[in-house]
A = this chain, B = another copy of it.
Amino acid sequence: MTFRLPNKKLTYPCNAIVQQSVKPRRLAVSGRCRKLRLSEENRQRMASSGEEVSNKQLIFRDYVTGFPQESDMYVTTGTVKLKPLTGFGVSKVLDSRNPEFKEGDLVWGITGWEEYSLITNPQVLFKILHTDVPLSYYTGILGMPGLTAYAGFYEVSSPKKGENVFISAASGAVGQLVGQFAKPMGCYVVGSAGSKDKVDLLKNKLGFDEAFNYKEEHDLDAALKRCFPEGIDIYFENVGGKMLDAVLLNMRPHGRIAVCGMISQYNLDQPEGVHNLMSIIYKRVRLEGFGAPDYFPQHPKFLDIVLPYIREGKIKYIEDIVEGLEKGPGAFIGLFKGQNVGKQVVVVARE
Contact = CB atoms under 8 A, between A and B. Distances in A.
Interface of A: 29-31, 240, 244, 259-262, 265-266, 270-291, 294
Contacts of A287: 280, 286-288
Copies in the complex: 2
Contacts of A279: 289
A163 B24 CA distance: 33
A149 B16 CA distance: 52
Given A272-B273, A273-B273, A278 B262 contact: yes
A152 to B, nearest CB: 11
Given A262-B281, A284-B289, A287-B288, 14 more contacts: A29-B282, A31-B278, A240-B277, A259-B280, A270-B275, A271-B277, A271-B278, A272-B273, A273-B275, A279-B289, A281-B289, A284-B291, A285-B289, A286-B287
A328 B282 CA distance: 26
A262 B277 contact: yes
A260 B282 CA distance: 10
A172 to B, nearest CB: 15
Contacts of A244: 277
A281 B31 CA distance: 11
A289 B294 contact: no
9 contacts: A29-B281, A244-B277, A273-B273, A273-B275, A274-B274, A274-B277, A281-B290, A284-B288, A287-B288
A278 B290 contact: no
A165 to B, nearest CB: 19
Contacts of A284: 288-291, 294
Most chain B Cβ neighbours within 10 Å, of A240, A260, A261, A277: A277
Nearest to A290: B284
Nearest to A259: B280
A283 B271 CA distance: 17
A294 B282 CA distance: 12
A169 B215 CA distance: 41
A31 to B, nearest CB: 7
B291 A281 contact: yes
A275 B278 contact: no
A31 B279 CA distance: 11
Contacts of A275: 270-274
Contacts of A276: 271
Most chain B Cβ neighbours within 10 Å, of A276, A286, A294: A286
Nearest to A260: B281
Nearest to A278: B262
B273 A259 contact: no
Instruction: Give me the 6 closest cross-chain CB pairs, A-B, nearest first.
Output: A273-B273, A280-B289, A281-B289, A287-B287, A286-B288, A284-B289
B278 A240 contact: yes
Contacts of A285: 288-289
A281 B214 CA distance: 23
A151 to B, nearest CB: 11
Contacts of A31: 278
Most chain B Cβ neighbours within 10 Å, of A30, A272, A273, A289: A289
Most chain B Cβ neighbours within 10 Å, of A260, A278, A284: A278
